[in-house]
Amino acid sequence: MKIVVIGTGYVGLVSGTCFSEMGNTVTCVDIDKEKISNLKNGIITIYEPGLTQMVQTNTENKNLSFTTDLSSVIKNAEIVFIAVGTPMDEDGSADLQYVLKVASSIGQTMQNRLIVVNKSTVPVGTADKVKSAIEKELKSRNVTIDFDVVSNPEFLKEGDAINDFMKPDRIVIGASSEAVFAKMKQLYSPFFRTHDRFITMDIRSAEMTKYAANAMLATKISFMNEIANICENVDADANKVRLGIGSDKRIGYSFIYPGVGYGGSCFPKDVKALKKTAEDYGYEAKLIGSVEEVNNSQKLLISKKIIAKFGENLTGLTFGLWGLSYKPGTDDMREAPSIYTIKELVKRGAVVRVYDPKATKNARDFYLKGIENIFYCTSKYEVLKDSSALILLTEWKEFRSPDFEEIKKQLKFPVIFDGRNQYNAFSLEENGFEYYQIGKK
């Protein structure tokens, strides 16, 4: 098929590349000339395992190309995906300005019948707005061209997006035409063999499915974190409680690890947007509001433990920190717990030495830009120099089995604050460490 993907951010680039991997002819479009120039030269500005090689391979075999000129490629397209950002607005709602600008551009340039697919995460009712924007432009051109608007939410995990796309656990399609369902099934058939993974529904239900899925996962995280906080107060062990409840097949082990809260581009934004959507339709989403409140508090938990140990005034103290990204396998720092922890320590006079395998540049250039008393290190052991304690906030693989003797040797005090409960508390305490984790005194 001939496919156009508008937007070369995380979702757009991964989607377009994976479609091209299956033999489709894909053109990715973006208004950012520098980004398109880089992509043409095989330079990927986001970190996602396997993506760079796949982009380069499909560019070389002519299945994948990049342009800033929508009009030059839309005339031959069968399906156009909208995959631009929907950042959070001031009131918590999803900002649809970029989606609707793209819809207008499609209406201004389309020449033949199209299926227009919303791949961006958008609130219920967005398909209607996209349809209206396209119709308005067609009317101004005094032309009549048939088109369909489809909702096709993405369910990609950063750090494992290629695998998620190539081997999906489900494909959700919201449409109003059997012909469109058939066309979308033809497009996605190479990615799955069992038909029950292709789920069709009305457009608004598909739009809701994405938010509901992310809100459910965020709820599991906040629920377990709240249980962990209770465990600390009653002198129970949250890790053992997790094992006890996760063995129940109705609950399962996924997303019930105690920690310092969720971050990233999806959960924080989508939970807020769903809460705002409910408000707009006259409903107070109490549970979803509580999920957000628990998560906001959880991001400050490690800094509170540090302050309880070392005091409110941290002047003269240095802390080594492992992990800046909100999760392993990505350089994404949006709403990362590390941001909150570092800011709390620095404003109390502390110096923080940090290391992350992939997110250092994002931290230095954007998320922690201008904040003093942060030193960026090139290895995990370098951060220990002059540090009074080690803080772990992202569970990268290289942090899982460190040399604890080396850690003890370099730290001023044998103290570890573990925001991801990665280590064996008994073993560390037996070897003279003070070990602070989530959900256990």
85 conformational bin, left if phi > 0, alpha if psi -120 to 50, beta if neither: beta
Q: What is the pLDDT of residues 121-147, one digit of tens each?
A: 999 999 999 999 999 999 999 999 999
- pLDDT, residue 4, reads 98
| Average of per-residue pLDDT across 203-225 | 97
Q: Are strands 374-376 and 389-392 parallel, antiparallel or unpaired?
A: unpaired
- pLDDT, residue 82, reads 98
Q: What is the pLDDT of residues 104-119, one digit of tens each?
A: 999 999 999 999 999 9
| Average of per-residue pLDDT across 175-199 | 92
Give the C-alpha separation, 404 to 424, whole Å.
11
Burial call 397-407: b when 16+ CB within 10 Å, e when fewer: eebeebebeeb
pLDDT greater than 80 at residue 183: yes
- pLDDT, residue 297, reads 97
- pLDDT, residue 91, reads 85
Confidence of residue 351 (pLDDT cuts 50, 70, 90): very high
- pLDDT, residue 193, reads 77
pLDDT greater than 80 at residue 194: no
Q: What percent of the chain has pLDDT over 70?
A: 100
Give the C-alpha separation, 302 to 338, whole Å.
10
The whole-chain average pLDDT of the chain stands at 96
| Average of per-residue pLDDT across 380-406 | 97
pTM: 0.92
Q: Annotated binding site: which residue ranges? A: 30, 35, 86, 121, 155-158, 210, 255-259, 263, 269, 327, 334
pLDDT greater than 90 at residue 58: yes
Q: What is the pLDDT of residues 152-170, one digit of tens each?
A: 999 999 999 999 999 999 9
Considering the candidates 18, 28, 266, 377, report the single residue annotated as catalytic.
Answer: 266
Query: What are the tokens at 354?
Result: 């940090």
pLDDT greater than 90 at residue 441: no
pLDDT greater than 90 at residue 196: no
Give the C-alpha separation, 2 to 306, whole Å.
55
Confidence of residue 45 (pLDDT cuts 50, 70, 90): confident
Q: E strands, 76-177, where?
A: 79-82, 114-118, 147-151, 171-174
- pLDDT, residue 416, reads 98
pLDDT greater than 90 at residue 88: no
| Average of per-residue pLDDT across 364-390 | 97
Give how far Cα 61 sits from Cα of 56, 76, 338, Å. Answer: 9, 19, 41
Confidence of residue 218 (pLDDT cuts 50, 70, 90): very high
- pLDDT, residue 304, reads 97
Q: Which of 66-75, 194-203, 383-392 has the lowest mean pLDDT?
A: 194-203
- pLDDT, residue 230, reads 97
Residues ≥6 apart with Cβ < 8 Å to 13: 28, 39, 44, 46, 51, 55
pLDDT greater than 80 at residue 195: no
DSSP label of 66: E
Active site residue 266: yes
Cα atoms found within 13 Å of the Cα of residue 39, Cβ hemisphere only: 30
